[in-house]
Amino acid sequence: MNNAAIQEIARADPALHSDASLRPESVSAASECCAWCGLPVWTAFGGRSRVQPEKNLAAAIADDDRSGLHDVYCCFGCRLAHGISEERSQGGFVRGTVVRLGLAVFFAMNLMAFTMVSWSPDVYGNVSESSSSRLLEVFRWLSMLLSLPVLLLLGIPLLQNAFISLRQRIFSTDLLIALGITAAYIVSAWNVVQGSGAVYFEVGATVLVMVTLGRWLEAVGRQKATESIDTLSALLPATALKLSAAGTEEITSAEISAGDRLQIRPGDRFPTDGRVRTGQTTVDEQIFTGESTPVAKSSGDTVLGGTVNLDGLVVVESISPFRSGSFGRLLTLMQEARLSRGHYQLLADRISAWFLPLIVIVAGVTLLGHLRSGIGEAIQHSLSVLLIACPCALGLATPLAVWTALSTAMRRQVLFRSGEAIERLADVEAICFDKTGTLTTGTPQVLRTCVLNAQCECEVLALASELAGSSNHPFSQAIRRLSASRPDAQNRVNQRLGDVRSVPGQGVEALRSNGTRMRLGSVGYAFAESAMTPGRRMLLTRILATADQEAASIVALSVRDEPVAVFVLTETLRPDAARALRQCADLGLHLTVLTGDRAAQAEQLRENLLSSDFANQASSTEPFCPIALTVESELKPEEKVTRLFQLREQRGRVAMVGDGVNDAPALVASDAGIAMGCGADVSRESAQVCLLTSELDRIPWAIRLARRTRSVIRQNLIWAFGYNSVGVAFAAAGLLNPVVAAALMIVSSLLVISNSMRLLADESPERGLS
């Protein structure tokens, strides 16, 4: 991964990461991990680990700065990829590489022209004329001279990377490839001076061009896979306007501290979390919530770093340092997801731990076995082994697919906490949903108002709104929202309440300014002291029976101990709930709803979901087949966990979808916990997958993405293992020219890259990933 991004986070919070989280479990303490891709690299001579386990990342970086050590890379391609991501700070590193590659290609093409003429004796037989022989000898000298710039332009960077790794006691194939090419050049130059023997200038030059080109393409692919988090990091502004006693001054965002007052102009992004002190504006919070509707902000409201101030000049007081707070947590989770290793990554790590020593042995045996054909031929065959066995494809196979999936998911407001979370979600066979806040909006609404006396509905609603204003209960808020939507009711709210008293679990009562007592709450509480006529009692019984059939809730209002009205409330089913369940069923998942509501409400939910699913499928030409949905009611949190364990035994791996607060035990107990609507609270430890939005169709989309990612990883690993095994066998037998081996190395890496990049396609949740 991008080491510079890790360093920035580590400097912001030195205790954020420990070295233990960066290092694969399968690699010994004497191993190193590539600073870019994280692939283990072989530590030669039993050298000590560069980052000590007892030190955190920030301390390790500080030690490196003092000691002058370079970052560890498994190959020149990773060093090049790091250079691309750091182009500005590297002072033209990437542009220099492009120029060197272009010049090397120019010299290599001219070299091939002279080499083709030199091959004429092999095609047409020995040339007898002395003038032709002298011309061929001149061409051999010219080939040596033209290959020298290629060796200097491309061979030296390869050697530099190899020797840097060697000084760090890291052994890589770059050193062997560079030594093989250099040895082939020396043997060829000696044969030119002697006037006899084969020359291999074109082989060395072509291999260098192909190796550098291949590593360049790998670097571009890696950068493409990581561009999501790089784009995310670039969202925060580089500077901010700080208010002080001396006036307004422009400071770098890195200098922002908690408590600083910042002036944010329209169109600017908030550099950090803050609280509005003066001014009013609307804010685009789509990066966190996925909602495109602007949110109004005024004095006292909280704003999140990375969100956009749309239309007002405001002064905010920062409540967290730069790159901390909500945005910092989001960035940190993305970084940690890249650093983490799943099953397939650990498998590649274990193989790569012994892969390089084995290839070195095979290359050495190949060199000795072909010495009878001449030192030049032996060097070529051993060089073919090193080229065809270059672990680039193996190193790219898993990380590139995971990084691409993480980037794709982030663009759809889906945050995987780790690469392992992707694998876990891909393996689920059953999925459980919480009801309140997940399948429903969690916000009750008044279904209807039943007036029990001669008053008009607007008067009753006005009275209820007065009393509901003294309570924060969701049912009270639902009544207030209904009243606010009725201007005729709002105009009648004109008296103040006094002696307000709340009774937990029952309701609230208060006195109006004229001494009238009012009660709002359960039927038993509001009508406890009411004397009802038989007709009114019969009416109330019918209302309660109907509400029970609808699995609705009841809020009653009384004035002067007289029954006035009953409000029937219900939760709103999310509009995409049935569609999301249908898509999950189409993925072959067993569907279960786990809720603490009573049985009647649970059965009503099931009927609503099935009827909504039927309505969605009405326009389809396919025969309608209802989804198999199990709804289990009256479950306590610990009973939900027990039910998850039972489902795992019956169905296999189980995912749990909830709001991440009340459902935390179930989310932790599941194989893949999915938290809905995380928004700014992306640090919820209970879930492995966080949906920044509350759109349910993100869930089947994420499962499709996870399954496709798993498939791509498997394909990449099978190809990388098969390619290396077969290629090494052909190269060791002397059946593979180094140029062909280098070309196949490029093809192998490009196949892995292009296969992984397929995960960037078809991002729409509506279409999904097939």
What is the set of active-site residues?
Answer: 434
CB 315 within 8 A of CB 279: yes
How far apart are the C-alpha atoms of 24 and 29, rounded to whole Å?
10
Beta bridge partners of 501: 509
156: which residues sit within 8 A by CB, 6+ positions away? none
147: which residues sit within 8 A by CB, 6+ positions away? 107, 108, 111, 185, 188, 201, 202, 204, 205
| Strand 281-284 with 274-278, pairing | unpaired
469: which residues sit within 8 A by CB, 6+ positions away? 476, 480, 497
Q: How far, CA to CA in Å, does 246 sit from each of 26, 242, 243, 249, 321? A: 57, 10, 8, 8, 22
How far apart are the C-alpha atoms of 431 and 630, rounded to whole Å?
11
Q: Kind and range of the H or E element at 675?
A: strand 672-675
Closest CA to 38 of 334, 330, 340: 340
Q: How far, CA to CA in Å, does 387 sit from each of 21, 70, 177? A: 32, 25, 7
Q: Tokens in use for 618?
A: 């009405």
Side chain identity at residue 536, one-letter code: R
> For 455, which DSSP code?
S
332: which residues sit within 8 A by CB, 6+ positions away? 9, 13, 16
Side-chain-side CA neighbours of 751 within 13 Å: the count stands at 15
How far apart are the C-alpha atoms of 2 and 36, rounded to whole Å?
5
Q: Tokens in use for 44?
A: 């030669």
How far apart are the C-alpha atoms of 451 and 462, rounded to whole Å?
13
Which residue carries 């600073």 as its tokens? 35
CB 290 within 8 A of CB 692: yes
